[in-house]
Amino acid sequence: MRYYLHVIFIFLYYECFEAFGSNIHEEDVSEQLVERAISNIERTYHQEEGFNLSYLEQVGYYVPSYEGESNKKAQTIEFPSYDKDSFCFVAQAARDGSYEFVPIDSNEKSTIIQAQSAPISNLEKLQDKKVKRIPYRYLGVLVITFPKGQADNFPVQCVGSGVLIGPNHVLTAAHNLYDHTRGGWAQEVIFTPGQYKNIKPFGDKKGNILKVFKGWIENKDDNLPYDMGIIILEDSVGYQTGWASLLASDEHYLDNDYMLTIAGYPAKRVKIKTLEKTPRVKSAQMYKNSGRLIFAEKKRLTYDINTLEGQSGSPIIAHIDKERRYYILGVHTHGGAYSAEGTLLTHSRLLSILETIKKSVLPPIGTTLSSFFQDKLDGDGAYSAEGTLLTHSRLQSISEEELRKSILPLINPISSSFLIAKLDEPPLQMKKEVLVG
């Protein structure tokens, strides 16, 4: 009898263990980042050692912010020359209540019913001086091109928000990058940091690589907990603007009285024109609103903040009084006139995002390869690339063209401190750029 009870016990134990392990495995898989390269521009990334986790006692783990160089020197403002024959883009309401911008001929009468959003009067409009302050200068507006609209099969433009969290990294909502109702992955994403009306102090930046959590794509009917994504940009504008600090709060740190802020770009205040036949944000206005946290779940936050269409992907901002600093707790994803929701930045997600940043950092804009290598050489001046010795004196005599052709392709992307971003071709066949940015 004891023998049979023992066998039954072992059977039940392994069944429970297998089921439990399966759930853990599924959760881990859902938390993995998957990506799409939307540009075949090859770049040379390097491993960045400066991004590390720190711990704030009784608060949580965080990645420090960087204030950037924009406040230390005057910015040259350039106003793009938009196409004279640009379409007029009109915002229409989609089935889910979001905005889709539809191009119409400016000389023709439109039969499109323009979208109506919630009142904007109870949100604070940020003036130019405030947009330049921390943490708002880390934010930007997104114009996203999806393969099709919710009502037709033609490409459509949508508007979202995002925040810089690294030199060339933007945190936003996953549905800004992959939309099940609009054909899946976005075809193009343009990020414009710090835009104020028609002023773009840092220009438009294309997204090269899009990343979302696997659970957002595969758990279609229950994917809100995974509505978070990353854009890896074409150049490192973050060194100019700075970037925000990410915080994965401890389980019991957030309470119902915590004050949060959502800041981003409502679609109602965005105008789109074409530049070289490609849709760009011509004018945009940042708005913010603050309110109390209603409750915190394992992967979601609900808060008493009025938000508007277009602010999806905005950072959920918290000010830690004792540190006198701003931190990003997650991204805003859904909202309305009375309450809103966002995706919480958990500890495991923070680690995944941090790993992505560390493996895909671009040097500052305008950095030549020779000066970049010069900074990476040790004090005695030697860096070996599979038998090719690179010294300080050799760097002074070697041309950029020779460095590009003969040295860079030899670097092992795994064993060295550099990571070659391989999008289409093997590293040895890739064409490298002399100027980064």
Tell whether 140 and 76 lie within a shared domain. Answer: yes
Distance CA 23, CA 10 (A): 20
Q: Are residues 120 and 183 in the same domain?
A: yes
CB-CB contact of 155 with 182 (8 Å): no
214 and 88 co-located in one domain: yes
- Shared domain check, 343 and 376: no
Residues β-bridged to residue 56: 60
349's enclosing H/E stretch is helix 347-358
Would you say 189 and 179 are in contact if contact means Cβ atoms under 8 Å apart?
no
Residue 119 and residue 209 share a domain:
yes
Of 319, 347, 375, which marks where a domain is finished? Answer: 347
List the CATH number of the domain containing 138: 2.40.10.10
- What is the domain count for the chain? 2
Which tokens hold the place of 265?
């770009």
* Cα angle value 427/432/437 (rounded, 5°): 130
Domain that holds residue 241: 50-347
109 falls within a domain: yes
Residue 15 lies in a domain: no
76 and 210 share one domain: yes
137 in a structural domain: yes
Name the pairing type of β-strands 271-275 and 169-172.
unpaired
Give whole-number Cα distances, 64 to 58, 236, 318, in Å: 17, 17, 14
The residue written with tokens 């401890």 in the block is: 250
The DSSP line for 266-321 is -GGG-EEEEETTEEEEEEB--EEEEEEEEEE-SSEEEE-----TT-TT-EEEEEET
> Do 214 and 250 belong to one domain?
yes
Task: Say yes or no: 341 and 283 in one domain.
Answer: yes
What confidence category does residue 166 fall into, taking pLDDT thresholds of 50, 70 and 90? very high
Who wins on pLDDT, 121 or 165? 165
Q: Which residue type occupies 239?
A: Y
pLDDT tens for 113-160 read 444 445 555 788 999 989 999 999 999 999 999 999 888 888 999 999
Of 59 and 18, more confident: 59
β partners of residue 142 = 160, 191
A 10 A CB-CB count for 218 gives 13
| Residue 221 resides in a domain | yes
Residue 264 backbone phi and psi in degrees, to 5: -175, -165
Same domain, residue pair 371 and 343: no
For residues 315 and 332, what is the distance between their CA atoms, to the nearest angstrom? 6
Report how far residue 274's alpha carbon sits from residue 279's, in angstroms, rounded to the nearest whole number: 4
Residues 308 and 386 in one domain: no
Q: Give the pTM.
A: 0.78
| Mean pLDDT, residues 210-224 taken together | 91
Establish if 333 belongs to a structural domain: yes
